[in-house]
Amino acid sequence: MSELQQGKQAHFNVFLRGSGHHSAAWKHPDSVPKEDLDLDYYANIARIAERGLFDSLFTADNYSGLGRRLEPFTLLSALAALTKHVGLIATVSTTYNDPYHVARKFASLDHISKGRAAWNIVTGHSKEDAENFNRPEHPDVAQRYEIGDEFVELTKQLWDSWEEEALVYDKENEISLDASKVHEIQFKGKYHNVKGPLNIPRPPQGYPVLVQAGSSENGKELAAKTAEVIFTAQQTLGAAEEFYFDVKSRLKKYGRTADQLLIMPGLSPIVADTEAEAIDIENEFNALLNPKHALRRLSNYFTVDLSEYPLDGPVPVDKAKPYGSITTGITSRQQVVVDAAVRDKMTIRQFLARSAAAHGHVSFTGSVIQTADFIEKWIRNHGADGFNILPHIYYAGFETFVDKVVPELQNRGLFRTAYEGTTLRENLGLARPENKNKAIWALRRDAEQLKAQQI
């Protein structure tokens, strides 16, 4: 085992999702589904995350459907005032937003939280999103990523439109702002033309941490170019190792190194003191599933209706839609889900249970020691830099992980015993990006001063 592998520590994010990530969590006697819209509920989860020294918490978002999700900036701004350490990751689409608004909101969140903001970059989910934004059509995948690439670059330039020394607060000379250090960017792209500057100073972290979720070819390329954390879904260590190597090997062509991108697959753990107790918990939740509803959702990946097949018969993998044909939702998830059914030769009943537990991410059911072993194996073998934890139910499932698995990982030297810094970047081990235009602004200012002297 290499020295790098021996000294490597895991990073953890917790994914906020209603009553929990098991499809039947909201039906469990211990859940209170109406708390989905309750700030105190999310504040308690955030406090549990801080108790467990988690790097961050993450909220997903979309712009259509009948979900009950609070708007991310509103929720995370409130949580920023109620927490001190945990990072705050908001999902924001590059297809159905304006770069100026996004740059301003994330800069605000980063200032409010004193450097704990992060942006989960998505390109949009479905044509229903387009219909809610008065758009004639939902762009295809290639165009969405093209738009997203330009969007992120423009947003960075807006954050960089303020030099660090722009705010001076010189009371004696009555100067609060050095306007010569705030600049128009004059961005002209294929989809956006923006004069700038932004109307808020550069974020404390330089940029909020940039996160990308998805495992498609376009997604991996965007992650290699732009992202600092990638949330992904692999169900075996072999697949995770392959993805890890693939994405990390793409960084070099963008002038980046492997330590500038953390890869964090989703993990839905059901943990108890013993394996038998954990299996009992899993069975309890699976018994609450409505097979009809679950089959309807999973049939989206197939050309047939799965409800017409026997539950204890094999998954008709030969009827799966061609990879890449799914155009809504997370398009790369189809391959992960169907490949798992092929690999493990699942029955439809097993397919339902596996999908219900982690909606495409890897699930693990076992004792505290077994769960720590699982995490250690993936970390040591370069299948992950950490995990995006998807508790099967809040609060109990999350508290068990924090209060029992985390101490076991700490005993093994695999997880921090205190936060390393005050910002999310510091805790993730990511450098604060320099203002890319600093040298340009300095040269321009020197030229203007020289011109003034000549006059």
CA angle (26 as vertex; 23, 31 as ends), nearest 5: 135
Instruction: Please give the radius of gyration of the chain, using alpha carbons only, rounded to the nearest integer.
Output: 23
What's at 336, amino acid-wise?
V
Q: Tell me whether residue 126 is annotated as binding.
A: no
216 is in an annotated binding site: yes
Tokens 């997880």 locate to: 415
Q: Is 91 annotated as a binding residue?
A: yes
Dihedral of CA atoms 324, 326, 331, 336 in degrees, nearest 10, equals -70
> For 393, phi and psi rounded to 5 degrees?
-150, 145
Q: Measured between alpha carbons, how far is 99 from 154 in angstroms, rounded to an integer? A: 7
**Is there a binding annotation on residue 395?**
no
Nearest to 288 by CA among 353, 341, 355: 353
- Cβ-count burial of 26 within 10 angstroms (0-12 exposed, 13-18 middle, 19+ buried)? middle
How distant is the alpha carbon of residue 104 from its chain centre? 20
Is residue 61 annotated as involved in ligand binding?
A: yes
Q: Give CA–CA dist 281/310, Å, rounded.
A: 25
Going by the annotation, the residues of the binding site for FMN are 61, 91, 145, 215-216
